[in-house]
Amino acid sequence: MTTITTAAPEVHAEDAAQPMRLSFSRVDTYQQCPLRFRFAYLDKLPSEPSPHLSWGTSVHRAIEAWWSQKLPAAPPVDVLLQALYDCWDDTGFEGMAREDKIAWYRHAQDVLRRHHERHAPSFVPAVASEEWFALQLGPDIEVVGSIDHVARTDGGGIGIVDWKTSKRAKTRQDVRGSLQLAIYALAAVELWGHEPEWVALDFVVSGVRVAVPREEIDTDAAVATISEVAERVRAEAFTPSPSRLCDWCDFRSLCPAFEGEGPDVAGRAAIELTRLRRKRERDEARINELEQLVRDRLGPEAVLEEGAGR
Ligand code: SF4
pLDDT tens-digit readout, 232-286: 999 999 999 998 889 889 998 888 888 755 445 555 555 556 667 777 888 888 8
Q: How far is the CA of 206 from the centre of ligand 1 (A)?
A: 29
Answer whether residue 7 shows pLDDT above 60: no
What is the DSSP track for 25-75? HHHHHHHH-HHHHIIIIIS-PPPPP-HHHHHHHHHHHHHHHHHT---SSPP
Q: Which of 32, 7, 62, 48 is nearest to 243 (CA)?
A: 32
pLDDT per residue over 137-153, tens digit each? 988 999 999 999 999 99
Residues 6+ apart with CB under 8 A from 189: 2, 195
Nearest ligand 1 atom to the CA of 250 is 6
- Does any ligand 1 atom lie closer than 6 A to the CB of residue 242? yes
Q: Which of 76, 224, 216, 60 is nearest to 149 (CA)?
A: 60
pLDDT per residue over 203-219, tens digit each? 999 999 999 999 999 99
Strand pairing category for 20-23 and 128-137: unpaired
The three-class DSSP label of residue 304 is coil
- Does any ligand 1 atom lie closer than 6 A to the CB of residue 262? no
Answer whether residue 77 shows pLDDT above 60: yes
C-alpha pair distances (Å), 25 with each of 179, 237, 270: 10, 18, 30
Q: How far is the CA of 221 from the centre of ligand 1 (A)?
A: 26
Answer whether residue 308 shows pLDDT above 60: no
- Does any ligand 1 atom lie closer than 6 A to the CB of residue 240? yes
For residues 203 and 113, is the Cβ–Cβ distance under 8 A? no
Q: How far is the CA of 239 from the centre of ligand 1 (A)?
A: 10
